[in-house]
Amino acid sequence: MNKVTVVGSGFVGATVAQYVADKELADVVVVDILEGIPQGKSLDMMQAAPINGHDCNLIGTNDYAETKNSDIVVITAGIARKPGMTRDDLLKINANIVKEVAEKTVKLSPDAIYIVVTNPLDVMTYLTWKTTKLPTSRVIGMAGVLDSARFQAFIGMELGFSVEDTKAMVLGGHGDLMVPIPRFSTVNGIPITELMPADRIEALAERTRNGGAEIVGLLKAGSAYYAPGASVAHMVEAILRDKNRLLPCAVYADGEYGLKDVYIGLPAVLGREGMKKIVELKLTAEESAALKKSADSIKENIDQMNKLLVAV
């Protein structure tokens, strides 16, 4: 049986564990510094296994030794931004958490593939790569799958069509500067540009950019976890079952799309080796400019993170 470690037993981490087990993809280890939380949630999920019909084993622990020889390590650990907290505060706290997690897990699972979920996601993926010193093909960020799923859901809801028939492509960083691409977003092969006016498409694209914030506003406390958890499980399945799925993910650009030394959402093929290749699409001048703007913002955050880590 494959082995997946999920670091962080909050709502996202626990949802990842449940989806991975329910799909019978792997045994799952949920690790957290909080005592009792990963143990309790894992035990609860084990008790659901007879109903959901899988034989995957779920273990909750505070001991990283349990994660040894994992095939995939998913990093969800970190905190959400709280009232009165600056972006620098969030960046510094989560960077230190992710750096420690990466250092501890890579020693025990040097052959693992990493999927990073902690925000700011593109920056934390870059940090995980730098910390683990793994090939870029084995360190991937989740967000493109999530952002594209949100766009797909909004398209289906707008048109009244099955979301199973919608496909969408959202590139760029996971944030306000993400780049939905309507030309490459379809309903059963038909571009959405043929199915709705430009103003409605832009409204859906804007709702996608603010997809996480909309949920935070509705929940009042906490943030999304069902769709993020499902997005990670989707990537885990593509990797462990060597499906060669073409998915938008935060991957390392080394000249692709004119971008260099940055993790950013691009179309990538996922399989057993991790990220097998980046697919380069012919973007319009406007799309390319938006993607570069997104990349520049991520680079600024990486530079800021490096300064904050040095200052620790």
Listed by start position, the domains of the chain span: 3-143, 144-306
CA-to-CA separations, 288 to 180, 240, 256, in angstroms, rounded = 12, 32, 11
Please report the pLDDT score of residue 94 as a whole number.
95
Give the other-Cβ count within 10 Å of 32's Cβ.
Answer: 22
Three-state SS at 189: coil
DSSP 8-class letter at 238: H
* Edge-to-edge strand ranges of the sheet holding 245-254: 58-61, 27-31, 3-7, 72-75, 113-116, 139-141, 245-254, 260-271, 274-278
Cα separation, 135 vs 175, in Å, equals 25
Give the other-Cβ count within 10 Å of 213's Cβ.
Answer: 13
pLDDT in tens, the chain (312 residues): 999 999 999 999 999 999 999 999 999 999 999 999 999 999 999 999 999 999 999 999 999 999 999 999 999 999 877 767 676 788 999 999 999 999 999 999 999 999 999 999 999 999 999 999 999 999 999 999 999 999 999 999 999 999 999 999 999 999 889 999 999 999 999 999 999 999 999 999 999 999 998 998 899 888 899 999 999 999 999 999 999 999 999 999 999 999 999 999 999 999 999 999 999 999 999 999 999 999 999 999 999 999 988 764
Active-site residue (options: 138, 174, 234, 245) = 174
Cα separation, 29 vs 49, in Å, equals 15
Cα separation, 14 vs 226, in Å, equals 10
Cβ pair 206, 197 in contact under 8 A: no
Helices within the chain (DSSP H only): 11-22, 37-52, 87-108, 121-132, 143-159, 198-209, 211-219, 226-240, 285-311
How buried is 73 (Cβ within 10 angstroms: 0-12 exposed, 13-18 middle, 19+ buried)? buried
Please tell me the pTM assigned to this model: 0.96
Number of helices and strands (H, E) in the chain? Answer: 9, 14
The CATH fold of domain 144-306: L-2-Hydroxyisocaproate Dehydrogenase; Chain A, domain 2 (3.90.110)
Which of 199, 200, 166 has the alpha carbon at shortest distance from 184? 166
Helix 87-108 vs helix 285-311: crossing angle, to nearest 10: 80
Please report the pLDDT score of residue 96 as a whole number.
95
Residue 54 among the catalytic residues? no
The CATH superfamily of 3-143 is NAD(P)-binding Rossmann-like Domain (3.40.50.720)
